């Protein structure tokens, strides 16, 4: 079964729900992905460019969701390609037609400082979810 890496913008309440329920949902879940070039998306010339564009778009969405003074959070997850639907040709927006379970999440990307640049997002393993929640809350 082919998998797709999706980037899911989260806020503190979505993180809390993920910790409590073990999933991001309900479906559909909005995110970004670098779908194969045959999908009609034209984000860039190669896979790496499309991945970076999708990740950056998710970080921008996370900034819109973050409360004032809160850090952006993006979850990187690998989901079944059959449940990922592109929203608009030429852009990275997708909907995941299923909840995203915690075991599907590979990592979190969190602002080093609230309102930082995309390049300043720190990488956290999924097992560090409690640390991510603490960081985002500012505890």
Best CATH choice for the domain 3-137 from the list 1.10.12, 3.30.70, 3.20.170, 3.30.2000: 3.20.170
| Residue 45, burial from CB neighbour count under 10 angstroms (0-12, 13-18, 19+) | exposed
Question: Given this model, what pLDDT does residue 42 score?
Answer: 45
| Residue 72 φ/ψ, nearest 5 degrees | -75, 150
Cis upstream peptide for 83 (omega within 30°): no
Distance CA 114, CA 120 (A): 10
Distance CA 113, CA 101 (A): 28
Sheet containing 3-10, strands listed edge to edge, beginning at the edge strand earlier in sequence: 84-86, 93-96, 29-33, 3-10, 73-80, 105-111, 121-125
In the chain, domain spans: 3-137
Distance CA 126, CA 84 (A): 21
Distances (CA, A) of 23 to 63, 65, 83, 96, 123: 21, 18, 15, 13, 20
Q: pTM of the predicted model, to two decimals?
A: 0.89
Question: Given this model, what pLDDT does residue 98 score?
Answer: 96
Distance CA 92, CA 7 (A): 10
For strands 105-111 and 29-33, give the pairing.
Answer: unpaired
**Would you write out the chain's pLDDT as a tens digit for each of its 139 residues?**
789 999 999 998 999 999 999 999 999 999 999 876 554 444 455 778 888 889 999 999 998 888 777 889 999 999 999 999 998 866 889 999 999 999 999 999 998 888 777 777 899 999 999 999 998 887 6
Could you give the residue ranges of the DSSP H alpha helices within 25-106?
47-65
Question: Given this model, what pLDDT does residue 37 score?
Answer: 55
């Amino acid at each position: 079964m082919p998998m797709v890496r999706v980037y899911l913008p989260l806020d503190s309440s979505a993180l809390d729900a993920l910790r409590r329920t073990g999933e991001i949902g309900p479906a559909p879940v909005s995110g970004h992905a670098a779908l194969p070039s045959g999908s009609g998306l034209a984000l860039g010339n190669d896979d790496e460019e499309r991945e970076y564009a999708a990740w950056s778009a998710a970080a921008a969405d996370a900034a819109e969701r973050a409360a004032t003074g809160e850090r952006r959070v993006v979850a990187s997850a690998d989901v079944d390609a059959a449940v990922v639907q592109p929203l608009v040709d030429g852009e990275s927006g997708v909907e995941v037609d299923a909840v995203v379970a915690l075991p599907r999440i590979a990592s979190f990307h969190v602002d080093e400082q609230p309102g930082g640049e995309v390049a300043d997002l720190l990488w956290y393993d999924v097992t560090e979810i409690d640390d991510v929640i603490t960081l985002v809350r500012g505890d």
